[in-house]
Amino acid sequence: MDANPAPIPRSRDILRTARDDRDAAQRAVAALSLEEQVFLVCDTPVGLRARVLELTPEPEAVIPLLPEAELCFTAKAVGLADAGWILEHATPEQLVTSFDLDCWQGLVPQRETLRDWLVAMSDAGDDTLLRAARALDPETIVLMVRDRAQVMLDPKDEEWQPPPGAQTVEGQFYLLARRPNDDIADLLKLLGALFREDYWLYFRMLQGAMWELESGLEEWALRWRTGRLEDLGFPSWDEAMRIYGYVRPSERERVPEASAPLDVEAWQLPVFLPELPATVSQTHSVFQAAAELSEDERRGFFYAFVAISNKVAVADRMPLGDAETLPSAIDAAAEVVSEGLEHVATANGLGLPDTLRRVPLERLFRVGASLGGRRPPPTPEPVEPEAAEPDPADTAP
């Protein structure tokens, strides 16, 4: 998504027209290019995006072009139980990013949220399930299977009988729901699609659910997720925590030599962000200073500041799957960077724009955090998963 797209009709105008004349609104949207339709959808508050998508002539062409995180925000705003028609047209990258952003709390996968997304993708059909399963790491899928069902392999012993309630896709592996109120229909639908279209992945999932250790699965799932999020501009938690590195008082005024902090290359943002939300009000000195930079410098500042905001979101363990998180991270980063910017500029007799040109934003954040004593929130206690039924294999004679 271009950070500075051409002006197009605003979503509020289109929705206002749709209230009085839906056909006129549809014609207005159809007159836009596909890129402009994507901009229009992303420009709409997440709670109203479904209405705009319904006005587009081909939603199936618009949905795959939404930035990855925006697909997640849109599906959640619609309600996962009703988002199947959106997920049906999502790309593998969009589906996996939705899992990565919304199904983790800090460094721990959230089983209940994984279950909700699997149900939504099940409603979207077998093709959607297959796209997601083939794009996700196997460890995450095995975690979903293990959380929902006890997996048993028919030993081909004439005396063996599957436990009451156990279900099978092909007569070899049997699954018994771990919770009395869970019919595991969505899980069986996923496994059935894999059995028909990708048997070896199906076999790998069920063997893993039977034999692999939970701790190993979580560790590898976290590694895969961390790598994917790094490609989207979200650093690992360890790297993000560097922004809270303490700067000693004697070092806070220092201006690094030969630094070019605004020489930043653009990258494809996973969110729709044509401008930094806080720049409208200009309440923070860092944005006032950025407004005085040249056009090229402002573009470099834009991406450098988004990178800092992403680090704040990860370090502070903000919910990455919520649409409100990035604006909140931007505001928090702006407040701390502004404090560091003003301190360094005053100590060295520099103007604020010149200080931005000479001091990296991460250092300004660290100075501001050290001055104000800002620290990330404490690591939350791990949430215990919902109690499951005992494993029949553990009590079998």
Q: What is the pLDDT of residues 97-150, one digit of tens each?
A: 999 999 998 889 999 999 999 999 999 999 999 999 999 999 999 999 999 999
Quote the pLDDT of residue 279: 47
Q: What is the pLDDT of residues 269-286, one digit of tens each?
A: 899 887 775 444 568 999
- DSSP 3-state percent helix, strand, coil across the chain (nearest 5): 60, 5, 35
Assess contact for 322 and 354: CB atoms under 8 A: no
Instruction: Identify which has the larger pLDDT, 217 or 3.
Output: 217
Q: Is the pLDDT confidence value at 315 over 90?
A: yes
- Where does residue 266 rank: exposed (0-12), middle (13-18), buried (19+ CB within 10 A)? exposed
Q: What is the pLDDT of residues 203-212, one digit of tens each?
A: 999 999 999 9
Tell me how far apart the alpha carbons of residues 338 and 237 are, in angstroms, rounded to a whole number: 23
136 CB-near residues (< 8 Å, 6+ apart):
95, 96, 99
Tell me how far apart the alpha carbons of residues 105 and 215 are, in angstroms, rounded to a whole number: 16
Tell me how far apart the alpha carbons of residues 310 and 302 are, in angstroms, rounded to a whole number: 12
Report the amino acid identity of residue 112: E
- pTM score, two decimals? 0.86
pLDDT band, residue 329 (cuts 50/70/90): very high
344 CB-near residues (< 8 Å, 6+ apart):
252, 253, 255, 350, 355, 359, 364, 367
39 CB-near residues (< 8 Å, 6+ apart):
1, 5, 8, 272
Residues in the chain: 397
DSSP letter, residue 391: P
Quote the pLDDT of residue 5: 46
Assess contact for 224 and 139: CB atoms under 8 A: yes
Q: Taking Cα atoms as reference points, which of 110, 166, 140, 173 lies closest to residue 389?
A: 166
* Strand 104-105 relative to strand 108-109, pairing: antiparallel
pLDDT band, residue 7 (cuts 50/70/90): low
Tell me how far apart the alpha carbons of residues 250 and 235 are, in angstroms, rounded to a whole number: 29
Q: Is the pLDDT confidence value at 219 over 50?
A: yes
How distant, in Å, are the alpha carbons of 33, 129, 136 from that of 133? Answer: 32, 6, 5
29 CB-near residues (< 8 Å, 6+ apart):
14, 37, 40, 52, 55, 56, 57
Q: Helices 92-102 & 111-124, crossing angle to 10 degrees?
A: 160
Q: Is the pLDDT confidence value at 387 over 60?
A: no
The domain ranges of the chain are 1-65, 79-231, 237-372
pLDDT, average across residues 66-80: 95
Quote the pLDDT of residue 4: 43
Tell me how far apart the alpha carbons of residues 272 and 121 are, in angstroms, rounded to a whole number: 23
**Phi, psi (degrees; rounded to nearest 5) at 108:** -120, 130
Tokens of 282: 């200009």
Tokens of 324: 């409100």
pLDDT, average across residues 362-377: 89
Angular region, 90: left φ>0, alpha ψ -120 to 50, beta rest: beta
How distant, in Å, are the alpha carbons of 339, 359, 371 from that of 356? Answer: 13, 6, 18
Q: Taking Cα atoms as reference points, which of 302, 238, 243 lies closest to residue 267?
A: 302
